[in-house]
Structure 1
């Protein structure tokens, strides 16, 4: 056998002692520990905060791209969306979950915003709609500015960055896949940690494509890291109509036809090519919802105690707890019931069911 090959196949012997180096087995254990891997059983024991849609059937929590050609009407729609979320009024036929909104209109000034908003909404105003025309870039501390806003406004639902290029460092127009992926990943880490929506306005490339999402300026790293994207397109710049394509991880793909009201400068929905597909009704959640409707007050107890109150639920107590852990988001979103694990011991695992009051929810999982 070739001596060089034999040497390569020789297993290195870990050195312990005077060299001060760690044994390889210890390093291996550290690497495994860094993964924070959990088992499937442990996963079912955790409860994660329900992701309440910002605009039900249209916009969820997470980081999204809103892409269109320059002057296609993106900023008008951003102002329209921000106003509706801040007021809690339906956007077209989509229900809205009200909360504070921050609109970083980084290509505008306050005088232009004043004229635009007054034309769109007359003299009606919202105390929960905040805007700024300047911000730091991501490398300069934008994330800290957003942290401060969320801290001051715990009901924050939506932050709009108009545009992505304005929060990148100089020279950001020539980026690789890894750079594009990294910048959206940083934004997504923020939106996920606060359970809000971060909507980032971006531009299309000049080159046409059969797939509208291939027209996003930059690399596929932007869409790859984002939770979804909206593409707004017109056949001609002078058209009053536009097509909005929507794709996302947690929502049904849609294609909407919009018409621009030039008098009020707002977009109206005229057609929806793909309607949302509703999830099938869960009999377990239906029975719990009926129980809570009769209860009319928060209920606290164990799974065994709940099964005594709802005897027609044919599952074991430990299975019921797992189902509630997994279905906490659906229970909250579809039935308005908040499921919260309480302090648990090996002998007793209590939880609370209550009707929520449209406040932002933060659930800490109990192990």
Structure 2
């Protein structure tokens, strides 16, 4: 690590590529992480119903849009509603009273108290996962300026608190082949957010829509959905099945091997040779090194301590197993079941 004055903290590439780092926790699997997101759509398309469903799902820890969630407190700033309308919507969605789902129908503006209000709520609710602002226009301090500067302020709050902030936004009536260009002030928004979702009806009034998803940490996705009026929720029709992760195979083999060996110290090539005793999968030395570094922080949950150190003969992998810290509870597992699928967990 190198310090330059009081401003820059610099790490070289060796540190970045050899140090296990804590993985970013998703709020909605492969869709939302701590950061700032925009959900845009035409008026009356059902953005607020979707926002309510997201908050309910996170508060109860159930899937939404076919994706898993991390359970925690949700705060919904429904700034164009009243409590009577909120009550009616919750009853229409067959929701149960939930202590960690909260609402407000008024809030301060960005730069004029909103950040402090969110931070104060976080202090009272340490497990806060998401704050929804419906709609974004209601919290703007300067409606004549670009959205970008104000959104960056909220993004910094989201990063600092480790929460997801979802801003509900409008689309312009002008047609465009790229739905993200239809967001009001799309140029200012694009560089300030971590992800954007554009909800666009396939035919006006049909109850069918495509939600276009893009972001820094999410793959571009088009979700075909329909609005189910029985439960007042958007239902995804085309979510692809989760594919088995290669990481799972490598990490599972390491788990089974070190559980029996207890301690290993050697090169990546030597470890790959040892792993042949627990799997027929072809594993390459650079792959096992990469997977261990990227997942090393989380391996401790399964009783595995990992180090990647430089010695006189080069770099060696050090693994040690402590069964008392193994959260898998000693269950009988196969190679591909030894650890939770890395696509569904923080590993």
Task: State the 1:313 CA deviation.
Answer: 6.0
**Is 2:224 the partner of 1:251?**
no
**Is 2:274 the partner of 1:312?**
yes
The one of 194, 214, 239 equivalent to 2:161 is 194
The one of 80, 88, 91 equivalent to 1:115 is 88
Alpha-carbon spacing, 1:325–1:221, altered in 2? closer, same or farther (3 Å): farther
Preserved CA contact (<8 Å) 1:57 1:276: no
Distance 1:326 1:114 in 2: 45
Corresponding residue SS for 1:281: helix
The residue number in structure 2 matching 1:83 is 56
Task: State the 1:181 CA deviation.
Answer: 2.5
Alpha-carbon spacing, 1:226–1:68, altered in 2? closer, same or farther (3 Å): same
Corresponding residue SS for 2:237: strand
The residue number in structure 2 matching 1:286 is 252
What pairs with 1:220-259 in structure 2 (closer than 5 Å)? 220-259=187-226
Distance 2:306 2:154 in 1: 30
The one of 27, 30, 45 equivalent to 1:54 is 27
Alpha-carbon spacing, 1:221–1:80, altered in 2? closer, same or farther (3 Å): same
Question: Mind listing any 5+ residue stretches in structure 1 that lack a counterpart?
Answer: 1-29, 343-348, 358-367
What pairs with 1:335-354 in structure 2 (closer than 5 Å)? 337=302
The residue number in structure 2 matching 1:182 is 149
Preserved CA contact (<8 Å) 2:26 2:70: yes
**Is 2:67 the partner of 1:105?**
no
The residue number in structure 1 matching 2:294 is 326
Alpha-carbon spacing, 1:328–1:216, altered in 2? closer, same or farther (3 Å): farther
Pairwise CA RMSD? 4.1
What pairs with 1:93-172 in structure 2 (closer than 5 Å)? 93-122=66-95, 124-169=96-141, 171-172=142-143
Preserved CA contact (<8 Å) 2:29 2:68: yes
Larger Rg, first or second structure (1 or 2): 1
Residues 251-303 of structure 1, C-alpha deviations (whole Å, 9 max, x = no match) = 2211112111224322222234x7766653365422344368x59xxx9x9x8
Alpha-carbon spacing, 1:143–1:339, altered in 2? closer, same or farther (3 Å): farther
